[in-house]
Chains A and B, each alone.
Chain A
Amino acid sequence: MVYEILRTLTQLQSLALTAPLIALCVVVVWEVLKPTRNLVKKKKLTVNEHRLKWVFIGILVGFIGKIIESAWWAIPWTLDYLQIDKDGWKKIHGVGVFFNLIFRQLFFTISAYCYLRAFIAPEKEDSGLRNVHWIFGMSLILGQLYLIALIAIRSPLE
């Protein structure tokens, strides 16, 4: 009973926090847009400017993904709380996997890649670039292996 009340309160606060989250993210994107554009357009960049360019692109991609993803999830969470149209809610909730994959996982992965480029290999010629791509490539393979393991586990279960 206490757990249920606490869960409902937390769910509501999650919804409540969506507004400040989206507002803050929008302002961040707005603030970063112009400096990013300037750095991307600039022909010759110093090493620090390259770093900053990657950081800003990482910020842009990461926060845009957050805005869309948070705005989406406010809908099924609201419907869930209001207990409106259980079947409709399930369908809407089901669509959430698409938003999760693109705006949460994919955008975030790209954002993380940009930050790693900023820290390890801001320029194409940097020796650390191969390390960044190795980390990226190996983790993608790890993920696919995890998937294969799950499929293999599920098949005997069925």
Chain B
Amino acid sequence: MNYENLRIIVELQSLALTAPVLVLCAFVIYECLHPLKTSIKGSQMRWILFGICFGFAGNLVDNLYWMFPWTANYLGLPATPDLVNFGVFPNLLFRQTLTSVAAYCHLRAFIPEDNTKLLRLLNWGVVASIVLGQGYILTLWCINQGLFN
């Protein structure tokens, strides 16, 4: 079996695994809703449940979207490049942003309500990493424009 055949099999299994991912995501969100409604405001469990909901909602939509370009790619449909190119939008919103929000909620779950110092550290950490990310793309833009030549 050569690399290309293996790649196609893996690509197909990725498509096949989309169904269980979508079904399981939907079930997890469904199971989370009731405990979320009845949970105490500001409690650890509430933050974890928010994190789970955001994370799984993002993954549900993201996986649902990518099913289309991957399917189109396998079938060799002409719409494939357009669908793949459009994918940056659901990537940013549902994969990156909602996962980051989910991670933030999970971290809030581990910080006691009265520990403002730790909370401030977390928030500053988030801001610093956002600034780092913006710095990274600024560097890439400068490289692309040939400013470092």
Contact = CB atoms under 8 A, between A and B. Distances in A.
Interface residues of A, number: 60
Interface string B15-52: 11111111111011001100100000000000010011
Contact of A14 (B16, B91, B144): B91
A31 B74 contact: no
Dominant secondary structure at the B interface: helix
Contacts of A113: 24
Contact of B88 (A7, A16, A55): A7
Dominant secondary structure at the A interface: helix
Contact of A142 (B23, B31, B35): B23
A24 B125 CA distance: 9
A101 interface: yes
Contacts of B81: none
11 contacts: A7-B88, A12-B141, A17-B96, A17-B133, A20-B133, A28-B106, A70-B96, A106-B17, A138-B23, A143-B18, A157-B75
Interface of B: 7, 10-25, 27-28, 31-32, 35, 48, 51-52, 55-56, 59, 63, 71, 74-76, 85-86, 88-89, 91-92, 96-97, 99-100, 103-104, 106-107, 110, 125-126, 129-130, 132-134, 136-137, 140-141, 143-144
